[in-house]
Amino acid sequence: MMKSPPRTVNEYLSKVGREQRAGLEKLRRTIRSAAPKAEECISYGIPAFRMNGKLLVAYGAAAKHLAFYPGAWPIAAHRAELKGFSTSKGTIRFQPEKPIPAALIRGLVRARIAQYSAK
């Protein structure tokens, strides 16, 4: 039987290990500070923020890392600052003990908001 996906961000976080949860909660607070008008939601089974009906950013926990999903354009725009992190097209992977700096997260979120505003 398949587990049902979490309905709320708090439900998602309650199922994550303590160390990972602490890292995700810090990330959540930082995203909220950069996008205070964004609404929290669950998208594709993981915590996300939506703005004006569009998916802004998402984040989650995997077996061996945490992940932040700001999209491809913000990652490309901040490539130099992300040197120490494992990245792919729209994903930044990191360890709870080596989080993405808050200022960089805010920059990535603001880049995503600017990307949507430009459209």
- Residue 3's pLDDT is 72
Name the fold adopted by 9-118: Aspartate Aminotransferase, domain 1 (3.90.1150)
CA-based nearest residue to 56, from 79, 82, 31, 89: 31
Residue predicted with more confidence, 80 or 119: 80
DSSP per-residue string spanning 71-104: -HHHHHHTTGGGTTSEEETTEEEEBTTBPPPHHH
CA gap 2, 4 in Å, rounded: 6
Helix (H) or strand (E) holding 62: none
Q: Which own/partner pairs from 40-43 qualify as long-range (CB within 8 Å, at least 24 positions apart)?
A: 40/9, 41/9, 42/5, 42/6, 42/7, 42/8, 42/9, 42/12
Question: Is the pLDDT at 2 greater than 80, yes or no?
Answer: no
User: Is residue 49 exposed (0-12), middle (13-18) or buried (19+ Cβ within 10 Å)?
Assistant: buried
CA gap 54, 61 in Å, rounded: 22
Model pTM score: 0.94
pLDDT in tens, 9-51: 999 999 999 999 999 999 999 999 999 999 999 999 999 999 9
Mean residue pLDDT across the chain: 94
